[in-house]
Structure 1
């Protein structure tokens, strides 16, 4: 809304003066002609003048000439009117272009004003936050100063305690060095005694190893002898079994002959029957004896096999204990 300081007629007279100078009217130039007035008021009157001129586009604008020009240029008035009418179209185009530019500038200025207001609001908010932060920092600084004083007192107290601890550490270090020296001496003596004991253990171990090797040789020889004895017994049993097989075969042959004789001589049935009973009893006895011999042979073989496995287990245990070095020391 226009202010009461500058009226529309004042702006119109300034515009006429600018047109007489063949200058395009603008807010800045109108204000220079008037010498006063706000840009907003002049802009509103200038916009109203352009609106009126646009509505009266086909009517040439009336020119209010100063009295001095009316007296001095009466003869040129007609020529000026004709030139004004000729230049009217040019001014109109130029005015339209300038109006568009002014409108765009006004819109841009309005946007800039809105941006400025927004920035002002943002800056005010930031200022309030900064002031609050400053107050908080002031309180924090006061609290930190109090804590600093307390820390200084604590530091002084800790300094005294540190000196006392240094003295205590020095004393304890001396005691520790003395104990360390005594410990090193005792450790050296213990190491020497351990080395002597280790040498003795190594000697005993070597003797035990020699004796163990002798026992292993003896066990190996005993196993070879047992193996030989087992083979000999096995051979004897094989021979004995072969003889029993021969006897059994002979008895079977005799039985066959007896059966044949019984068939051939029915008249001798009683005698042959008795003989067959006797032969059957003998065969039964032979088979019983053969089964007994076979069972005895299997029992002997199982016993020999158990003895061999026991000797092999003992030998393996001796080898393991020899490898682990866990044999007990020999008693001399």
Structure 2
């Protein structure tokens, strides 16, 4: 680039004028191959003033008119120069602002390209994660199905145990129903024993009153005594049977309590198993829904 001086600017302006064009800051700068507006403009203005003075000196006019003309020309040139400088400054500011905006736009474009590349990489990574999640959900679905099947089998076993306990309760209830019959037999034996005592008393009284009938009364007394002995033995057996029945009743009550407790525990376990089965089925359904959603996200319309 040529050094920017008055001589180089004047030479460039003369060359442009000889080519039939009016020299300007842009054309002079192009001719010199560079330079700023603020550097070229003062030299160019000085050259134009010198050219105007040179043109005026070649005309033979009245000095007063010449002075007035030069003053008017100088004033007009000064005004034009100020306007030109202002427009040049505005143009330079606009150019600088445009260059700044272009630089910012380029930076934003570069950032957008980098963000796009990052997003594409993340998308590929997410697709890989979705595929891995799909495989994991398939495995989880299989494990859940196996767990549900096992829970169903366990619940079936619990129901069978509960049914066995119910049947045992029925048998225990039947045994308990026999206890009132034993109690009735015991009461009847007691009544018979009391009747025997009454018969003995009446026999003894008859023996004391009627000696003539002593043999008959004695025989009757013996029969009554034998009957009383038999009734006593029967009463003893009934008492033993009653004790056994009471013992069986207490054992049955304990068994009923134990079976009731077991029944409650089994019912609770059945309820827990049912809730667990429902939860596993809901989880299985959620896995299926998640798998469908993942398949939708990886479909071509989301690429």
Which structure shows the bigger proportion of residues in helix conformation?
Answer: 2
**Which of the pair has more CA radius of gyration?**
1
TM-score normalised by L of structure 2? 0.47
TM-score normalised by L of structure 1? 0.44
Bigger RCO of structures 1 and 2 (CA < 8 A, at least 6 apart): 2
